[in-house]
Structure 1
Amino acid sequence: MASYHARSSSCPSIAHPVVDQFDQHLSRLRSSQAASTSSSLYQTLTNLKNLYCCVDELLQLPLNQQAVSQNRPSKWVEEVLDGSLRLLDMCTTSRDVLVQSKECLQDIQSVLRRRSSGELNINNEIAQYLNTRKSARKMIKKCLKNTIKETNQTTTEDASIKSALKEVEAVTLDIFKSVLSYIGGAKLESQKSKWSLVNKLMHQGGDKEAKSTNSEFDVVDATLESIICQKNKNGVNMLQVENMRCQMVKLESEIQVLDETLDSLFRHLVKTRATILNLLSN
Structure 2
Amino acid sequence: MAVIETNTKSSLHLRSNSLPSSPHPLVSQFEDNLKILNNSEGTTSLSSSSVCNKLNGMQDLNDCIGKLLQLPTEQQALSRECNERSVNDLLEGSLRILDICSIAKDFLSLSKENMYELQSVIRRKRGIETGFTVEGVKYMAFRKNMKKQIRKALVNLKTMKNESIDSSSNKDNNSSPMFGLLKEAEAVTLYSLEHLLLFISDPKGHSKHSRWSIISKLMHSKRAVSDSQESDTNEFEKVDSALLSLISHNKTSSADNFQSHMENLEICIQDLEIGVEHISRKLIRNRVSLLNIFNH
**What band does the TM-score fall into relative to the shorter chain?**
0.7 to 0.9
Work out whether 1:166 is the aligned partner of 2:166: no
What corresponds to 1:278 in structure 2? 292
Larger mean CA deviation between 55-64 and 187-196 belongs to 187-196
Change (3 A) 1:192 1:43: closer
CA deviation profile, 1:195-242 (whole Å, cap 9, x unmatched): 59832355x6x86433x1x322122122223333x1xxxx51111111
- Aligned with residue 6 of structure 2, among 2, 5, 25: 2
Post-superposition offset of 1:26 = 0.7
Change (3 A) 1:275 1:98: same
- Partners of 1:197 and 1:115 lie apart in 2 by 23
CA deviation profile, 1:9-36 (whole Å, cap 9, x unmatched): 4672373211111111111111113542
Q: Which consecutive residues of structure 1, in runs of 5 or more, have no partner in the other structure? A: none
* Equivalence map 1:37-186=2 (5 Å): 37-71=47-81, 73-115=83-125, 119=129, 121-153=131-163, 154=167, 155-156=170-171, 157-185=174-202, 186=204
Q: Which consecutive residues of structure 2, in runs of 5 or more, have no partner in the other structure? A: none
Change (3 A) 1:22 1:278: same
Contact kept, 8 Å, 1:71 with 1:77, in 2: the verdict is no
- Partners of 2:289 and 2:262 lie apart in 1 by 40
Change (3 A) 1:20 1:72: closer
What corresponds to 1:222 in structure 2? 241
Contact kept, 8 Å, 2:144 with 2:210, in 1: the verdict is no
* Equivalence map 1:13-28=2 (5 Å): 13=20, 15-28=23-36
Post-superposition offset of 1:64 = 1.4
Post-superposition offset of 1:2 = 2.2
Structure-2-length-normalised TM-score: 0.83
CA deviation profile, 1:85-110 (whole Å, cap 9, x unmatched): 11111111111111111111111111
Contact kept, 8 Å, 1:55 with 1:272, in 2: the verdict is yes
Larger mean CA deviation between 118-127 and 76-85 belongs to 118-127
Larger mean CA deviation between 12-21 and 55-64 belongs to 12-21
Change (3 A) 1:117 1:74: closer
Larger mean CA deviation between 62-71 and 185-194 belongs to 185-194
- Partners of 2:71 and 2:127 lie apart in 1 by 67
Change (3 A) 1:264 1:35: farther
- Partners of 2:93 and 2:127 lie apart in 1 by 54
Tell me how large the CA RMSD over aligned residues is.
Answer: 2.6
The percentage of aligned residue pairs carrying the same residue is: 31
Aligned residues: 273
- Partners of 2:126 and 2:193 lie apart in 1 by 43
Post-superposition offset of 1:63 = 2.1
**Partner amino acid, structure 2, of 1:249:** E
Change (3 A) 1:40 1:117: closer
**Partner amino acid, structure 1, of 2:182:** L
- Partners of 1:197 and 1:140 lie apart in 2 by 24
Contact kept, 8 Å, 1:36 with 1:215, in 2: the verdict is yes
Larger mean CA deviation between 157-166 and 66-75 belongs to 66-75
Contact kept, 8 Å, 1:197 with 1:222, in 2: the verdict is no
**Partner amino acid, structure 1, of 2:223:** K
- Partners of 1:34 and 1:278 lie apart in 2 by 39
